A and B are shown apart, each in its own frame.
Chain A
């Protein structure tokens, strides 16, 4: 890890993701968030952000894209690793 890179605690990132989704129209469908740091096989790290929803069928393509861009925008302020957002099927 380079000394000048911002790295947040994964549990703090998960809390922030829950807050972002929890304040969205999709709050009732949220069923949990998992965050862990991982490595690209060749260079650098990323954050694997897995969002569990009770029913993905309720989310439109626009909803998925909006949630993803909101999370990427907020996490990027706290952590220099790329936040890779995934959606868990129930």
Chain B
């Protein structure tokens, strides 16, 4: 798959960057487009991750991955990441993350998952204000902070590569494909 999310992050950075000699506040349109673009970076990263883990990574499977990601939705991501944002995985989905021969009880959310979940939820909240609620103030500081947060979350997710990490990523991908719900909740 392409590095579409990386391209979006670069575009977001250009939107909130100051040109040499530029003074005064950044234009609101640049701040808001930067925030919206950072959101879409983490959104598309999540879609790509789910598709690569559940469908497969080979080039021949590109069309199948594209068909699959069309079934994922903003709502499904919001529900999924809402259940992964805390110190422990929400009880309604914790069995999906339990490794074999692991005792019952709460499961700690791995830091790289919690980071991605909270970055997504923050980006989602700010993106809706950026795009639809022009009366809600958003600053260049907000745009830069969100960009850093999304970039770090994606970097740390990519760095998590142990067998347990890969198993957790697969469970996250499954939960995304199920729109955040294991049963009729």
- Which A residues are within 8 Å of any B CB, using their own CB? 38, 40-44, 46, 48, 50, 56, 59, 61, 64-65, 68, 72, 76, 82, 84-89
| A46 x B148 contact (CB < 8 A) | no
Q: With a CB–CB cut-off of 8 A, which chain B residues contact A85? A: 122
Main secondary structure of the interface of B (DSSP, over half): helix
Digitize B55-99: 1 where CB-to-A-CB distance is under 8 Å, 0 elsewhere.
Answer: 000000000000000000111001100100110000000000000
- Which B residues are within 8 Å of any A CB, using their own CB? 25, 73-75, 78-79, 82, 85-86, 118, 121-122, 124-126, 128-129, 132, 136-142, 144-145, 148-149
Contact partner of A86 (CB less than 8 A), chosen from B74, B86, B139, is: B139
| A82 x B140 contact (CB < 8 A) | no
Q: Which residue of B lies closest to A46 (CB)?
A: B125
CA distance A88 to B142 in the complex (A): 8
B66 to chain A, nearest CB (A): 23
20 residue pairs of the A-B complex, CB under 8 angstroms, read A40-B78, A42-B74, A43-B82, A44-B79, A46-B125, A50-B137, A56-B139, A56-B141, A61-B148, A64-B145, A65-B145, A68-B145, A82-B85, A82-B118, A84-B125, A84-B126, A86-B139, A87-B145, A89-B139, A89-B141
